Amino acid sequence: MNIDEWNIVTGCERLTPGCDNCPSYWDAKINGWDYHPVFHEDRLLTPLLNEEPTAYMVAIGSDLFHESVRVEQIASVFEVMHKATWHHFEVVTKRIERMESVSNRHLHWPENSMAGVTIESSRYTWRLDCLRGINARRFASFGPMTGRIGKVNLDGIEVAGVIKETWGKPRPVKQEWIDEVHDQCIEAGVGISEKVVIVKELV
């Protein structure tokens, strides 16, 4: 299966320290691009026009659930995901409270999609509780780590992985932080992916 990005939303804004080394932000800054979040209506049908089965990372480097993206716009993305049954879609957010709220009120996650959340340190492990409140296949990305994750509840999480910074000026990550996450995944029977979650193909 091919891997591609569906940049239906571009631009974002800093939310937590994990955002400080975001490559999409620095690309925009270096190139003088406007980094305000924008929903690209003209890209909505992109997956439907692609007949080759593809794993799409949705709004990577941005956030489909940014507060500036209207619920109707999010719903239109999900309509395409439902129609494009030959593709796989992954939607990851730091704004997990909004993902949970909008999902429970307005969305139905198709089987060919996964809801994900990023967790940078023990301060944000509560995001897993919000993720569990969404009726979808779920994955967790630990990183880019800004501190130890600590003990986490992985109930209901299908796949998890550690994202290490390899861009810009990577922040130091202790190997024991990574090992701690991996050990808990193994103990909980959670699939481990070192990169992105691609259907069931775990690296």
Instruction: Encode pLDDT of 54-83 as tens digits.
Output: 999 999 889 999 999 999 999 999 999 999
Burial of 41 (0-12, 13-18, 19+ CB in 10 A): exposed
Q: Is 201 a member of any domain?
A: no
Q: How confident is the model at residue 202, as a pLDDT?
A: 31
Q: Is 202 a member of any domain?
A: no
Q: Is 198 a member of any domain?
A: no
Q: How confident is the model at residue 198, as a pLDDT?
A: 34
Interatomic CA distance for residues 143 and 130, integer angstroms: 18
Q: Is 88 a member of any domain?
A: yes
Q: Is 199 a member of any domain?
A: no
Q: Is 203 a member of any domain?
A: no
Strand partners, 4: 56
Q: Is 137 a member of any domain?
A: yes
Which 3 state secondary structure label does DSSP give 97?
A: helix
Number of domains in the chain: 1
Q: Is the dihedral of CA 5, 65, 93, 138 positive or negative?
A: negative
pLDDT in tens, 118-166: 999 999 999 999 999 999 999 999 988 888 999 999 999 999 988 777 6
Expressed as residue numbers, the domain containing 25 is 2-192
Q: How confident is the model at residue 167, as a pLDDT?
A: 66
pLDDT in tens, 8-33: 999 888 877 776 777 777 777 788 88
